[in-house]
Amino acid sequence: MRTVQFTAYGPPSVVHVAEVPEPHAGPGEIRVAVRASGVAAGEIAIRSGRLRDLVPVAFPFRTGFDAAGVVDEVGDGVTGVRAGDAVFGAAGFTRRGANADHAVLTAWAAKPAAWSWEEAGGAAGAAETATRVLDRLAVAAGQTVLVNGAAGGTGAVVVQFAVARGATVIGTASGHNHGFLRSLGATPTTYGPGLPGRVPAGVDAVVDCAGGALPDLVAIAGDPARVVTIADFAAREHGVHLSSGATDPLAWHGLAVAAALADEGRLRVPVAAAFPLDEVAAAHELGETRHARGKIVLVP
Ligand SMILES: NC(=O)c1ccc[n+]([C@@H]2O[C@H](COP(=O)([O-])OP(=O)(O)OC[C@H]3O[C@@H](n4cnc5c(N)ncnc54)[C@H](OP(=O)(O)O)[C@@H]3O)[C@@H](O)[C@H]2O)c1
């Protein structure tokens, strides 16, 4: 089967399709014939070599954290899912390899009928991340949440999860994405210098999906403990928690929450662009701009 991988750090052109043996579902796992899979911003950063001192990897590095597809193997001990079912899910933090013809998933939920395959393919990582950070901040109805970097593949889902919890959400994005943020249920503002002056008082929690703004975000929240970043490796200097799969237990219950919200018409996974698997380098080029609106996905 085909898989996406890179064997050295470098520009988008180092990421390529390779032929490899098919993986198989082990105990507690399922395998899907992939219909769409997500391009992870974190893997774009890993590929570039920028994170080499922070995130050591072994080559070849097979990419892809989340995927959607049709179940074609069910591992021992798995219940509630059968061959032929449509699901979305994740390959696990260390295994990855979801940008492929077949992917082994360690966490999954039924694919909502309302979602296209492209939406479902990019959903799991964002749903897990949104749940993990909003749980950590105990975001609940009546609170006000600021999402920095709200128009990206992860931020757009964090916004909708926070709205679904009954929070009032303020999101940052470039001006041309403000209508998009309103459509997700957030009040938009621009990011960059002077942010504290553009955000009303009374923000209870801040989710940082962009990085580079922690002093302002701490000032807005009034307490570094009320800020969680998923994107800023300087977090510790500011007393802020950097949440990742390496620091926190992954919140897989978020997949079922996402499916339920989607079935109620309350969660979209905005798709910035879908590329054929063998055009993965172009997908990485788009991701590297850091201005994609929503998720970038790969399709067979
Ligand atoms: N730790 C974790 O568990 C975890 C999980 C998922 C993602 N992440 C990380 O979180 C970050 C976001 O992921 P993503 O999937 O949302 O990436 P993404 O889709 O590439 O994000 C693109 C978005 O970032 C916005 N943006 C660019 N520069 C910004 C800035 N200076 N301030 C605020 N927003 C800015 C852009 O908005 P405009 O186009 O409107 O300017 C665009 O909508 C990445 O660094 C990724 O590696 C971490």
Pocket of ligand 1 (CB under 6 A): 41-42, 45, 125, 129, 148-149, 151-155, 172-174, 177, 191, 209-210, 212, 230-231, 243-245, 287, 290-293
For the segment 59-67, the average pLDDT, to the nearest whole number, is: 97
Which pLDDT tens digit goes with each residue over 118-128?
999 999 999 99
pLDDT digits (tens, 9 = 90+) for 191-203: 999 999 999 999 9
294: tokens are 């929503």
pLDDT above 90: residue 94:
no
Q: What's the distance, Cα to Cα, between the start and end of the chain in Å?
A: 11
3-state helix, strand, coil in the chain (%, to 5): 30, 25, 45
> Which residue has tokens 């097979």?
62
Rounded Cα–Cα distance for residues 222 and 90 (Å): 35
Go through the domains of the chain in sequence order and give each one's CATH number: 2-122+269-299 (3.90.180.10), 127-242 (3.40.50.720)
Question: Tens of pLDDT along 66-80?
Answer: 999 999 999 999 999
Best mutation site among 230, 232, 295 for ligand 1 pocket (most ligand atoms within 8 Å of CB): 230
Q: What is the pTM of this model?
A: 0.98
Distance 41 CA to ligand 1 centre (A): 7
d(C-alpha 128, C-alpha 296), whole Å? 17
List, for residues 220-271, the tens digit of each pLDDT value: 999 999 999 999 999 999 999 999 998 999 999 999 999 999 999 999 999 9
Burial 36-72 (b: 16+ CB within 10 A, else e): bbbbbbbbbbbbbeebeeeeeeeeebbbbbbbbbbbe
The phi and psi torsions of 169 (rounded to 5 degrees) equal -120, 130
Across the range 28-42, mean pLDDT stands at 98
Tokens of 148: 């920095």
The DSSP bridge partners found for residue 228 are 207, 241
| For range 147-163, the mean pLDDT | 98
> What is the reported pLDDT for 93?
72
